[in-house]
Structure formats: structure tokens, C-alpha cells
């Protein structure tokens, strides 16, 4: 799942997700989430809201229904590396 998709799955609005990803230079899920926590009391800039209305819905975005997202081989990773990346590893 993409960073955008992951953030949207938390129930965050499209405009919040776009603001966070743009503000962090698309540096990833954790950077965007940290940004949102640090800026939770601030309104989304109005320029982003207008731009968001012109964007197709996330479900229409490329890769929204990738069937290989859970296939470690699709990323050239071992099963162990894939679980570690998804936070499913145990020590």
C-alpha cells in the first residue's frame, strides 16, 4: 500500500494527507504522520484544498489495487525482509 493509501486507511481526509505528503516532500508515511501530529491544530492551507478538488479519487490512482503488494518476491525481498519492512518481525 502506498503512503497515501496507508494514511487514508486511518480515516484521514484527502486534503490532510495531501498537505502532509507535500509538506514533507513525500519522504514517507512516518514523516507525514509526524507532520500531522505536529500540525494538528492548524488548518489545511486553502491552496491545497482547491488543488485537491482537481485530483482523481485515490481509488483511481495508479497502483491502488496492486495485487502484488503482499508478495515479497514482487519487491525482490525475502519473506523475512518483507515482514520486517511491514513491522511484523519478532526478535
State pLDDT tens for residues 7-51. 999 999 999 999 999 999 999 999 999 999 999 999 998 876 545
Q: In the prediction, which pLDDT does 32 show?
A: 95
- C-alpha distances out from residue 88 to 3, 32, 61, Å: 17, 21, 27
H helix runs in the chain, sequence order? 3-9, 14-23, 29-38, 46-54, 79-85
Model pTM score: 0.52
pLDDT the model gives residue 80: 67
* The predicted structure's pLDDT at residue 46: 82
Q: Above 70 in pLDDT, residue 5?
A: yes
pLDDT (average), residues 66-85: 58
Residues in Cβ contact with 32 at an 8 Å cutoff, skipping those fewer than 6 apart: 3, 7, 17, 20, 21, 23, 24
d(CA 50, CA 30): 25
- Please state, as a whole number, how many other Cβ atoms lie within 10 Å of the Cβ of residue 57: 8
Amino acid at each position: 500500500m502506498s503512503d497515501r493509501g496507508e494514511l487514508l486507511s486511518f480515516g484521514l481526509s484527502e486534503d490532510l494527507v495531501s498537505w502532509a505528503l507535500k509538506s514533507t516532500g513525500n519522504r514517507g508515511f512516518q514523516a507525514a504522520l509526524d507532520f500531522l501530529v505536529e500540525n494538528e491544530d492548524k488548518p489545511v492551507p486553502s491552496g491545497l484544498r482547491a488543488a485537491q478538488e482537481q485530483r482523481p479519487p485515490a481509488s483511481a490512482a495508479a497502483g491502488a489495487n496492486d495485487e502484488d503488494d503482499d508478495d515479497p518476491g514482487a519487491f525482490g525481498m525475502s519473506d523475512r525482509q518483507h515482514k520486517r519492512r511491514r513491522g511484523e518481525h519478532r526478535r
